[in-house]
Structure 1
Amino acid sequence: MEYFEKTINIDEPVENIYSVIANINHYPDFLPYCISTTIMSIDNDIITARINFDFYRMKISICTKNKNTKNESIQMKLIDGPFSKFNAVWLFSETTSSSTQIKYSMEFTVLNPLIALLIKKNINTFIEKFIEAFRRQIKSQRN
């Protein structure tokens, strides 16, 4: 099993950050490698969604059940995808009225050895690109 964790601070109110990260429908507009998303169901604070990626011409689709706690957390559990196990959590902590700490963690086991190698070799690059894309999107929402 692989584990990854990243904590960053962004000079934005928690509400702005949470609204961008929770808005799965807009991921294809700004998130690298994301080619489409589908909201399968919404039941109060539980959202089931599919996100489709194209990593270097390798199509990957992941479906998760997400428990959203507004401005606090998003907890993701695997329904199906290239993983035998996948859990991820976004935690949002307001440090001041205009600054937020974000912690993203995930643990996963990949079924396909080729995808496992791709992810393992590039996980830091992927996550850095995702975080930077979220930062830019959050900033653009402000303007």
Structure 2
Amino acid sequence: MPRHHETRDLPYSAEQMFALVTDIARYPEFLPWVIALRIRSDSEHESVADMIVGFKGLRESFSCRVHKQRPHEVIVSYIDGPMKHLSNEWHFQPAAGGGCRVDFMVDFSFRNRMFEALAGQMFDKALRKMIAAFEARADELYGAGSATSSEGRSASFSG
């Protein structure tokens, strides 16, 4: 069962990062392997979405509920699909020198043993690619290249 926890200090506000993570309709534009996404419902505090992901000819769809507590927390809970379980959490805390600390956790396992084996082999690389995609999207939306943008980036990994 792949599980990962990561903390990043980014030069963007908690509100900006919250807005980016909760704009799930745009995920197919920048997240690798997200082929399509349909939002079933969306409100200030909760969204329900169906997502199709694909990798090397494999395609799977799943549904999840996104709990939103602006601007500090996003918790994704699994509804149905090919997984045994999926848990994903984002926490955003303003940083003393500006920007914010992003705390990210994902934990999942597949029902299908083949997918579970593939996930185990590819998990670390895939996760880093997805985290990089969120960071690149933040740079695109909120402006990379400022002194804060390059100096404010540090990463600490745990898990």
TM class by shorter-chain length?
over 0.9
CA distance in 1, matches of 2:103, 2:134: 13
Match of 1:72 in 2: 72
Question: 3-state SS of the aligned residue for 1:96?
Answer: coil
CA distance in 2, matches of 1:9, 1:60: 32
CA distance in 2, matches of 1:130, 1:109: 17
CA RMSD, 1 decimal: 1.5
Say yes or no: does 1:103 pair with 2:103.
Answer: yes
Match of 2:15 in 1: 15
Deviates more, 1:54-63 or 1:26-35: 54-63
Q: Which has the larger radius of gyration?
A: 2
Work out whether residues 60 and 82 of structure 1, in 8 Å CA contact, stay in contact via their aligned partners in 2: yes
What letter is aligned with 2:125? T
TM-score by length of 2: 0.83
Work out whether residues 31 and 133 of structure 2, in 8 Å CA contact, stay in contact via their aligned partners in 1: yes
What letter is aligned with 1:110? F
Match of 1:53 in 2: 53
TM-score by length of 1: 0.92
- Whose strand fraction is larger, Structure 1's or Structure 2's? 1
Match of 1:128 in 2: 128
CA distance in 1, matches of 2:142, 2:88: 27
Unaligned runs of 5+ in 1: none
Q: Which has the higher contact order (CA 8 A, sep 6+)?
A: 2
Match of 1:141 in 2: 141
Work out whether residues 2 and 123 of structure 2, in 8 Å CA contact, stay in contact via their aligned partners in 1: no
